C-alpha cells in the first residue's frame, strides 16, 4: 500500500501534506511517549469537503487512516501503528456564533477546549466539560473519546453536551445533524454512536454543543480524610446540600509528593495524610459559606483548607492538575483509567496496591481520580517489562468489581486486547457488525478499540 500523495496534495494543498520525518515527528508519538509509529504522511485539511476528499483517496488506494486532534490522548488511539495516513484535524478550527437563545454553539473538530470555553464565556455562557489538557485537547477528540474530566459530577460527560455532529464516513459521504434539536425521535442516534467510537466509524469534523450558564463565584476546599471510604461516604450528603458542587477529586500522598517535587509546591498540610479530597463549588453568588458549613459537618474530617480567592484556588488545583505532567516527567507510565460502581471504590483502592506489587514488586503506583464516578487514574511507574502483566492484573480486578477498563480516555490501542473484560461477546459482535457496515474495508483507525488480531 502506498499513500496516494498526489491525490492528497490535490485535496488539501501540497503544503498540508507532510512527509519529511522532521515535520511529521510531533504527530507520531502520543503524549505519554508510550505509543509511536511512522505515518506514511500527515494530512492537514481545513474543511469538511477536504476530509471527504482525503478519505475517498485513501479508500481508493486501500490505505488506512489514523485520525488525530490535539494529540493529548493517553491510550494510543490517535498515533499510527505504522504506514497509515495521519489525518490531523487541528485546522478545522472554526467556531460559530454562540446561539444564546438555544444555549448552543457549533465548533469545528480542531477547536481546543480552552478556545471553546473562552468563546462561550464571552457570550455569558460556559461549556460543561473541563480537564487539565484544555489548551491542546480538541472538540473532535472530546467527541471521539466521550471525554469526561472534572465536571461530570455536575454536567455529565461529553455525550451529555452533544446535540449534533457532522462526520465523514469511510466512503467519503458526509453525515450532518447540526440543527441542535433537543427532541428528536427519528430513529438510531448516530451522533451518540459516533461519540466514543474513537475514530473507528467516521471522522467527526464538527459538533453542535450544549452550553451551560456562566457562574462567576467559586470556592475550593482541600479535605484531609482517613481514607477512601470516608470520601465516598460524604458524597451523598455533599451532593444533597450543595447544588453548586462541581468537582470532587481524590488524591493520595504519593501523588501529591510527586507533584510537589516536580512543581516546587509547598506542602498543603504540615503532615502527610492517607487521602485528600478536593472539592469545588461554583455558583452565581459566593458559595464559600455553604461549602464551609457542609465540610465542617463531614464525618471523619481530619483537616481542611479553603480558598475563596482565585490565587488560592489555583494553588489548591495545582496539586491535582499537575499529576499527569509530574508523572510524565518521572517516566513512561502504564496508564490505566478505570471506573467501578462508586460504592466499590474503597475495595478497589484497598486491593490495588497489592495486585500491582504482586506482579511488579518494584513498580510505583500513582493513583488519583474523580471520586463521584468511581473513576481512578492508575499510573504505574517503573513497571518495565511487566507493563502488560500490570495492565492485566489491574483490569482483571476492575472487571471482578463490575467496573470499566476505560472510563474516560478511550480504549485506543492500549486496552483493545482487554475489551472482553468490560464488554460481552454479544456486545462486541454488535460493535463489529456496526464497524463492518460503516467501514467495510477497515480503513479507519485499525487496531483502535476493536483489536485486529
> Contact 88/36 with Cβ under 8 angstroms?
no
**CB closer to ligand 2HG out of 159 and 241:** 159
Closest by CA position to 213, among listed 151, 164, 165: 151
What is the widest separation between alpha-carbon atoms in the chain?
68
Q: Which three cell numbers stand for residue 352?
A: 490495588
Residue 176 Cβ, how far from ligand 2HG at the closest point, in Å? 30
**CB closer to ligand 2HG out of 56 and 72:** 72
Residue 39 Cβ, how far from ligand 2HG at the closest point, in Å? 24
Q: 137 phi and psi, to 5 degrees?
A: -60, 145
Residue 12 Cβ, how far from ligand 2HG at the closest point, in Å? 32
User: What is the pairing mode between strands 203-210 and 104-108?
Assistant: antiparallel
Q: Fill in the DSSP letter of residue 322.
A: T
C-alpha torsion angle, residues 395, 399, 401, 405 (rounded to 10): 60
**CB closer to ligand 2HG out of 110 and 149:** 149
Which positions touch ligand 2HG (CB under 6 A)? Answer: 74, 131-132, 324, 335, 377, 379
**CB closer to ligand 2HG out of 132 and 318:** 132
User: What is the pairing mode between strands 245-251 and 275-283?
Assistant: antiparallel
Residue 247 Cβ, how far from ligand 2HG at the closest point, in Å? 11
End-to-end, the C-alpha distance of the chain in Å comes to: 19
d(CA 136, CA 189): 29
Residue 447 Cβ, how far from ligand 2HG at the closest point, in Å? 22
Closest by CA position to 221, among listed 139, 281, 181: 281
Q: 47 phi and psi, to 5 degrees?
A: -155, 165
**CB closer to ligand 2HG out of 50 and 379:** 379
> Contact 197/283 with Cβ under 8 angstroms?
no
Three-state secondary structure call for residue 245: strand
Between helix 5-12 and helix 48-61 the angle, nearest 10°, is 170
Sequence-ordered alpha helix ranges (H) in 135-252: 139-145, 152-155, 158-161, 190-194, 228-241
Residue 74 Cβ, how far from ligand 2HG at the closest point, in Å? 6
**From edge to edge, which strands make up the β-sheet containing 203-210?**
104-108, 203-210, 162-168, 174-177
Region for residue 172 given its phi and psi (left: phi exceeds 0; alpha: psi -120 to 50; beta: otherwise): left
**CB closer to ligand 2HG out of 132 and 174:** 132
d(CA 320, CA 326): 10
Residue 113 Cβ, how far from ligand 2HG at the closest point, in Å? 12
User: What is the pairing mode between strands 65-68 and 85-88?
Assistant: parallel
Residue 168 Cβ, how far from ligand 2HG at the closest point, in Å? 28
**CB closer to ligand 2HG out of 125 and 449:** 449
Q: Fill in the DSSP letter of residue 138.
A: B
Residue 337 Cβ, how far from ligand 2HG at the closest point, in Å? 6
**CB closer to ligand 2HG out of 324 and 404:** 324
**CB closer to ligand 2HG out of 52 and 391:** 391
Q: Which three cell numbers stand for residue 28?
A: 507520531
d(CA 341, CA 336): 17
**CB closer to ligand 2HG out of 131 and 252:** 131
**CB closer to ligand 2HG out of 7 and 132:** 132
Residue 129 Cβ, how far from ligand 2HG at the closest point, in Å? 11
Residue 379 Cβ, how far from ligand 2HG at the closest point, in Å? 5
Closest by CA position to 9, among listed 57, 79, 49, 70: 57
Residue 406 Cβ, how far from ligand 2HG at the closest point, in Å? 11
User: What is the pairing mode between strands 245-251 and 364-370?
Assistant: antiparallel
**CB closer to ligand 2HG out of 336 and 393:** 336
Amino acid at each position: 500500500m502506498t499513500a496516494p500523495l498526489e491525490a492528497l496534495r490535490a485535496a488539501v494543498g501540497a503544503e498540508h501534506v507532510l512527509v519529511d520525518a522532521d515535520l511529521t515527528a510531533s504527530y507520531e508519538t502520543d503524549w505519554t511517549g508510550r505509543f509511536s509509529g511512522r505515518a506514511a504522511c500527515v494530512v492537514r485539511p481545513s474543511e469538511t469537503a477536504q476530509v471527504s476528499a482525503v478519505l475517498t483517496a485513501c479508500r481508493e488506494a486501500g490505505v488506512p487512516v489514523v485520525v488525530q486532534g490535539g494529540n493529548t490522548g493517553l491510550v494510543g488511539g490517535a498515533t499510527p501503528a505504522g504506514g497509515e495516513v495521519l489525518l490531523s484535524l487541528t485546522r478545522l478550527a472554526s467556531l460559530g456564533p454562540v446561539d444564546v437563545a438555544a444555549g448552543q454553539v457549533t465548533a469545528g473538530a480542531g477547536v481546543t477546549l480552552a478556545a471553546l470555553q473562552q468563546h462561550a464565556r464571552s457570550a455569558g455562557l460556559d461549556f460543561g466539560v473541563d480537564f487539565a489538557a484544555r489548551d491542546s485537547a480538541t472538540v473532535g477528540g472530546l467527541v471521539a473519546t466521550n471525554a469526561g474530566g472534572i465536571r461530570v459530577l455536575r454536567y455529565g460527560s461529553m455525550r451529555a453536551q452533544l446535540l449534533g455532529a457532522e462526520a465523514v464516513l469511510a466512503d467519503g459521504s458526509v453525515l450532518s445533524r447540526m440543527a441542535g434539536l433537543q427532541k428528536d425521535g427519528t430513529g438510531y442516534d448516530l451522533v451518540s454512536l459516533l461519540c466514543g467510537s474513537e475514530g473507528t466509524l467516521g471522522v467527526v469534523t464538527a459538533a453542535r454543543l450544549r452550553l451551560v450558564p456562566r457562574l462567576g463565584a467559586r470556592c475550593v476546599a482541600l479535605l484531609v480524610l482517613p481514607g477512601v471510604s470516608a470520601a465516598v461516604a460524604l458524597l451523598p450528603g455533599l451532593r444533597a446540600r450543595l447544588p453548586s458542587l462541581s468537582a470532587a477529586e481524590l488524591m493520595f500522598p504519593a501523588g501529591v509528593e510527586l507533584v510537589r517535587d516536580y512543581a516546587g509546591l509547598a506542602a498543603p498540610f504540615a503532615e502527610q495524610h492517607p487521602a485528600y479530597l478536593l472539592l469545588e463549588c461554583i455558583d452565581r453568588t459566593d458559595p464559600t459559606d455553604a461549602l464551609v458549613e457542609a465540610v465542617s459537618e463531614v464525618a471523619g474530617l481530619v483537616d481542611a483548607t479553603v480558598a475563596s480567592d482565585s490565587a488560592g484556588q489555583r494553588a489548591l488545583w495545582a496539586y491535582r492538575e499537575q499529576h499527569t505532567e509530574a508523572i510524565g516527567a518521572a517516566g513512561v507510565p502504564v496508564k490505566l483509567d478505570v471506573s467501578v460502581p462508586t460504592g466499590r471504590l474503597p475495595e478497589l483502592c484497598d486491593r490495588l496496591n497489592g495486585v500491582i506489587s504482586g506482579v511488579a514488586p518494584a513498580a510505583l503506583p500513582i493513583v488519583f481520580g474523580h471520586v463521584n464516578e468511581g473513576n481512578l487514574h492508575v499510573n504505574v511507574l517503573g513497571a518495565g517489562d511487566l507493563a502488560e502483566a500490570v495492565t492485566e492484573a489491574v483490569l482483571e480486578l476492575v472487571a471482578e468489581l463490575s467496573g470499566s477498563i476505560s472510563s474516560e480516555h478511550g480504549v485506543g490501542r492500549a486496552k483493545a486486547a482487554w475489551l472482553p473484560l468490560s464488554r460481552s461477546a454479544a456486545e462486541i459482535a454488535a460493535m463489529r457488525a456496526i464497524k463492518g457496515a460503516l467501514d467495510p474495508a477497515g480503513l479507519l483507525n485499525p487496531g483502535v478499540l476493536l483489536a485486529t488480531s
